[in-house]
Amino acid sequence: MKFFPTKNARLFFTVLLFACACSSDDNPSPAGEQFLVSSEFVYSTTAQQLKFLIQLSGLDVNVNEFLYDIEIYKVVYNTSYDGSTITASGLIAIPKTTEQVGMLSFHHGTITNREDAPSNFSSSDYNSISYAAMASVGFIGVIPDYLGFGSSSSILHPYYVEALTASSILDMLKAAAEFAQQKNLQFSGKLFLAGYSEGGYATMSAHKAIESEGLDGFNLIASFPGAGAYDLSGMQEHIFSLQDYPDPHYLAYMARAYQIEYDKNELLTDFFKEPYASRIPGLFDGQKGADAINAQLTSKVSDLIQEDMLKNINTNPQYDYLENAFKENSLTDWSPKIQMFMYHGLSDATVPYKNSQDTYNKLLSNGSSTSVVTLTPLEGTHSTAVDPYIAAIIEKLLTLK
């Protein structure tokens, strides 16, 4: 799901859009930089405007934390896909200051319509502003589109594919550091990662990759994954145990992505009954949102999924490739050494709280410490727990930055 602010926040961010000065200047990166390809100025606003509009909105936020005027840019950068270099995109928000600042990469939830990518900013879209306002409190804000959106929209988004999720984020972080240098912004090296739903999974994927591979020039301080489906095998077992699953597009999205990633033409017909198996590829054409896709599927699990798949996925060798894909892309096989604050809504029916609880327990059994990895239960569903999640991570960020 996408991150949707509260009603008051929507009003605030919508008003803010009309207070911004917009432009479309294109600034190619200097020669010799490996990741940043180009940047395009989108808009700017002042800290005073932010403070005024926050007060006007009635949000319970300390306006004195908004210190800096900000500028927002769309950036294009190099990353890898299927053995080749391609371009990806996203937004970067920078504070106008000569002081050292850290970097916060915020990862959005599931989207299927290309128009919903963060870099497709428009004057009626408050979501990009809500991501970008983090810069005013003293961060370089990084908001990836993800592969499959923005400048890489010619490919299907590799939904819940760990390696590609992480590598595209890490490459954008490198591009953001290059961009900061280009703008003479003093990056302290301190890095924070956050995101909710698929963004929670993306956050944990990036954190894991940084610990295992390193990231020169960055010092990861903490990550804040919220409500992600980290244990994909557990998620499969949960959905298969239900009579009804109200958001079947999530399952179809992953299956279609895995069909492409693992070159398994038979995956959709192994997994889904007709007419859904044949229908699914056309549903993910980048022009439909979640509601439109759900309307072309069914929430009744026994009508959606093949009977043999439901009964025998764990015992029939025919499905080993799918079980292996779930295990390969689950985030339960590591032990974080850098602070990770996990959050999840107790009443979440889309991704159950148990998924985070099971992941947390596995990370501890792998060797992580309770002083390094924490799990905080939140009141609310997958949608309504977003607000307390945002409030919690803002408080933590301000103490750690």
Q: Decide whether 7-230+335-400 matches 232-328 in CATH topology.
A: no
Q: Which residue has the tokens 């992505």?
A: 257
pLDDT tens-digit readout, 321-343: 999 999 999 999 999 999 999 99
Return the H-helix or E-strand segment holding 170.
helix 162-182
**Distance between CA atoms of residues 108 and 203, nearest Å:** 10
Name the fold adopted by 232-328: 434 Repressor (Amino-terminal Domain) (1.10.260)
Contact 132, 141 (CB under 8 A): yes
Nearest alpha-carbon partner for 148 in 82, 59, 57: 82
Task: Return the domain boundaries, the chain.
Answer: 7-230+335-400, 232-328
Q: Quick one: three-class SS letters along 68-133? A: CCEEEEEEEEEEEECCEEEEEEEEEEEECCCCCEEEEEEECCCCCCHHHCCCCCCCCCCHHHHHHH
User: Which of 4-13, 218-227, 265-274, 334-343 shows the lowest mean pLDDT across its residues?
Assistant: 4-13
Residue pLDDT, tens place only, 174-229: 999 999 999 999 999 999 999 999 999 999 999 999 999 999 999 999 999 999 99
In this prediction the pTM is: 0.91
* Backbone phi and psi for residue 208, each to the nearest 5 degrees, phi listed first: -60, -45
Residue 285's H or E segment, with its range, is none
Q: How far apart are CA 394 and CA 299, in angstroms?
A: 36
Q: Where are the alpha helices (DSSP H) in 189-266?
A: 198-213, 232-240, 248-261
CATH number of 7-230+335-400: 3.40.50.1820
Lowest mean pLDDT among 6-10, 294-298, 311-315: 6-10
Mean pLDDT over all residues of the chain? 89
